[in-house]
Amino acid sequence: MPSAQSAARVLGLAALTLLATAPPASAAEGWSVAPAGGGRPSFYAEGTPGTVLQDTVSVTNPGGHPVTVRLTGTGTGTGTGVPVAFAEQSVRVPARTRADVPFTVTVPAGATPGDRVGGLVAEDRAGRTATVRIRLRVGGPALSALTVEHLAVHGDRITYELVNRGTTALVPRLAVHADGVFGRVLLDRSPRTLPVRLAPGTRTRLSEPWPGHPALDAADVRLTATAAGGAQDTASTRARFVPWGAVAGTAGALTAGAAVTAVRLRRRRAHRAAEPTSTEVELTGAVR
């Protein structure tokens, strides 16, 4: 881990090299904010997770009255943005004076390699603001890792999720294959590049159309996703295709037939119950 002084020197030199000239960010009343030292329109920092980088922001008040500004940091990126801590968060700058405020940028311990973009915002008591951009590049080993999850078949559509579990952005490729009963090939799509870009730690839900799926079959569906850097994963599932309309019609016919039979049986039983009961008399030969 570099020292704070060397980190600050690297920070300043990198910014001077990458970003040469630009005016400072100015508010409506004439005060402005800019990286200290001049010549830099924005801040640039680079370090591995856990590194603390230092720099200084200048608040310049060319007017004839004092101005008080509040400094905050804001940002977005592949993680939680750019964490900024100021030596003084509220600064009173006298007329025709410049105030230099040191601050630190801490690379989060669990940050994945890549760029984060944030801003250093100054706001006066009247609500006027000025912003200077902060760009943070997180270093570290590049790791490509991709998984295919929640694979399912819903009629004429195959749904799934791709998850980037590595540290680099990925543009995945996808191959689709499905076999039916006895190994009959039902679907075979060669690998193709998907129109998505997955940032580290993100997931996306996608689907594949299958308009020609079988009407009656059992299919083993397999999806294989690949990406640069050796990232690869395969997921499989089984789907059963049954023509429920025909099944419903057959079941309905069987049900109707059973109902008719039941009605006929009930009628026969009722008819028998209505007939008079005959009495059998045994002749014993006795005479009275």
Q: Is the pLDDT of residue 75 over 70?
A: no
Contact assessment for residue 237 and residue 221, using Cβ atoms and an 8 Å cutoff: yes
Q: Is the pLDDT of residue 95 over 90?
A: yes
> pLDDT above 70 covers what percent of the chain?
72
Ranges in the chain annotated CATH 2.60.40.10: 4-138, 146-241
Q: Is the pLDDT of residue 12 over 70?
A: no
Distance from chain centroid for Cα 277: 82
Interval 195-241: pLDDT, tens: 999 988 899 999 999 998 898 899 999 999 999 999 999 999 999 99
The reported pLDDT for the residue numbered 1 is 33
The larger pLDDT score, comparing residue 97 to residue 117, is at 97
The reported pLDDT for the residue numbered 111 is 79
- Maximum Cα–Cα distance for the chain, whole Å? 152
DSSP classification of residue 212: T
Contact assessment for residue 193 and residue 182, using Cβ atoms and an 8 Å cutoff: no
Tell me the mean pLDDT in the region 255-260.
Answer: 50
Query: 146-241 adopts what CATH topology?
Result: Immunoglobulin-like (2.60.40)
The reported pLDDT for the residue numbered 38 is 77
Tell me the mean pLDDT in the region 43-63.
Answer: 92
The reported pLDDT for the residue numbered 113 is 81
Q: Is the pLDDT of residue 269 over 80?
A: no
Q: Is the pLDDT of residue 29 over 90?
A: no
Residue type, 279: T
- What value does the mean pLDDT of the chain take? 79
CATH architecture observed for domain 4-138: Sandwich (2.60)
The reported pLDDT for the residue numbered 279 is 35
Q: Is the pLDDT of residue 132 over 80?
A: yes
The reported pLDDT for the residue numbered 250 is 47
38 vs 56: CA distance, rounded Å: 11
The larger pLDDT score, comparing residue 83 to residue 177, is at 177
The reported pLDDT for the residue numbered 254 is 47
The reported pLDDT for the residue numbered 288 is 36
The reported pLDDT for the residue numbered 4 is 40
